[in-house]
Structures are given as C-alpha cells and as structure tokens.
Amino acid sequence: MQAAAHSVGSQKLRDVFANAEKVLVVTGAGVSAESGVPTFRGGGNTAVWKGMPFEVISSAGMLQRDLPAVWEWFNYRRGLLRSVKPNPAHQAIAEWQNQYKHLSLVTQNIDGLHQAAGSRNVIELHGSIWRGRCFDCGGLQALRELRIDDDVPACPSCGGHLRPDVVLFGEMLPAGAFERAAQEAGDCELCFVIGTSAVVYPAAAIPEIARAAGAYVVEVNPELTPLSGLCDEVLTGKAGEVLPLIGKS
C-alpha cells in the first residue's frame, strides 16, 4: 500500500496555491542538487576547480586571461551533465505549469534540466551550458552534439573563437532576460524561490520585486539565505522532497 502524501507549509499557502492565477518560480543550483549536479555554495562549501574558486574560473576576466582553461572547466561540467536526469523538483515545477493559467519559470541554472522535465518558456538568466557564442559575429552554436577536446572551438560561420554562452561574473545578463523576469515578479500573486543562496545579483532581486509588489513569497531550501527574512513562508528541506507535497492536504 502506498503511503498517503502529507502536506507541507501553512493553510495560507494551500489557499494561495489553489487560487493563484499568476505564479512565478525562481530557481537556483539547489533544484538540480538531487540530480547529482554540484551546487556552487551551500553546506559551508564553495566549489573549487583545479585549486581555483569558481568565482575566478567563471569570471569575465578569465575569458581574457585563459580562454582554453574556461573551455576545459565547461567541457568537464558538460561531461558530468550529459548523464544526469531531472528530479522530482523539476518534475513538480513542470506539472505546475499545466495547472496554472500563467506560470513563469526563471532559472539561474545553465543545465537545461527544467526543459528536460517539460517546462516551457524558461527564462534562463545565466545562459546555457549547451550553447557556444562567437566572440566575433555573436552567432550561437549548439554544443550538445559537438565534441570539444582541448582546444577553443571555432565558429562555423566566421571561424572566430567561441565562448560558452553563459553569464560569467562581471558580465551583463542576456538582453531582456532580467526585464522579463522583473515584469513577471511585479505581476505575480505567488512566488517560489527554490534552491538558491540568493547572493548573486541581479537574480536575487527578483523575489524582492515580487514581495514589494505584494506577492506571497515562499522559499524552499535546506538552509536559510539572506532572502529568508523577507519571505512569507520558508519551507526548510530538499526541493525534490518538498515540492511534490505543496498544495496537498
């Protein structure tokens, strides 16, 4: 016999979850943790690669100093990501999109796992590890099928150097991405903030905008974050365990 699903959160959350028409979901690396994707921060640790903190290797300055090292770092991570699958958190969010007239999903993740779970129109604030972008002509190149060894890959259109199409520290977000996310935040009734340490801006401003505009803001994270105090409700736990229970009575 299957155990009955028990509820999480308050009665207020169940009411808002049942009645909201406009919902915004903001995710970070923690939503993919249960798929086996390492987070950047959390649990008292910071990701380090070959002795370099990720803030150094994933920075705009590193593109100038050592582009091959940047490719090596992203090739390594693409290798890890090739075999991972969406987890119950990604699946719950994808199901919510069928339930609501209007659900927007804004992610800081570059792993493509929301789309793999079936989410549509995902706003990727920090780009995608599955695309390259040409320094010279700006052309985009799909990387899923491309085998990249040690060298910097070349643009198929103009022969220029490609770079990963991700947003590194000190770089601007893709044109319009933050503006679209901010608009959804200003317009939603319910905002979930899931699996983010909420220290990277401007992404961390999105739930702040939602709260200021009157949305009910709910955080899902095993740890407290700088946003926790602003949230109407904090659900302490792993996204893959908590999300499937939200709204259940």
CB 88 within 8 A of CB 34: yes
Tell me which of 6, 102, 126, 161 is the catalytic residue. Answer: 126
Selected binder of Zn ion within 5, 158, 172, 224 (CB under 5 A) = 158
Q: Which does 24 bind (CB under 5 to 8 A by kind): ligand BJW, Zn ion, none?
A: none
Q: Which does 70 bind (CB under 5 to 8 A by kind): Zn ion, ligand BJW, none?
A: none
Least Cα distance to 243 among 187, 171, 189, 194 occurs for 194
Report d(CA 67, CA 71) in Å as an integer: 6
Selected binder of Zn ion within 70, 81, 106, 155 (CB under 5 A) = 155
Q: Which two tokens stand for residue 64?
A: 């100038």
Contact call for residue 42 and ligand BJW (CB under 6 A): yes
Contact call for residue 197 and ligand BJW (CB under 6 A): yes
Least Cα distance to 92 among 217, 236, 242, 249 occurs for 242
Active site residue 90: no
Q: Which does 29 bind (CB under 5 to 8 A by kind): Zn ion, ligand BJW, none?
A: ligand BJW
Contact call for residue 137 and Zn ion (CB under 5 A): yes
Q: Cβ 105 to ligand BJW, closest distance in Å?
A: 14
102 bridge partner residues: 22
190 bridge partner residues: 23, 216
Q: Are strands 216-221 and 233-236 parallel, antiparallel or unpaired?
A: parallel
CA angle, 15 then 18 then 22, to 5°: 110
Selected binder of ligand BJW within 9, 16, 26, 58 (CB under 6 A) = 58
Amino acid at 238: K
Pick 102 or 200: Cβ nearer ligand BJW: 200
H or E segment to which residue 53 belongs: strand 52-53
> In which residue are the tokens 């000190």 written?
170
Selected binder of ligand BJW within 39, 97, 104, 119 (CB under 6 A) = 39
CA distances from 112 to 31, 43, 72, 187 (A): 12, 24, 20, 25
Distant-in-sequence, close-in-space partners of 80: CB < 8 Å, separation ≥ 6: 36, 37
Report d(CA 218, CA 230) in Å as an integer: 9
Contact set for ligand BJW, span 71-100 (CB under 6 A): none
Pick 151 or 223: Cβ nearer ligand BJW: 223
Selected binder of ligand BJW within 196, 209, 227, 246 (CB under 6 A) = 196
Contact call for residue 234 and ligand BJW (CB under 6 A): no
Pick 35 or 104: Cβ nearer ligand BJW: 35
Which residues belong to the active site? 126
Positions in the binding site for ligand BJW (CB under 6 A): 28-30, 33-34, 39-42, 54, 58, 108, 110, 126, 166-172, 195-197, 199-202, 220-223, 225, 238-239
Q: Which residues bind Zn ion (CB under 5 A)?
A: 134, 136-137, 139, 155, 157-158, 160
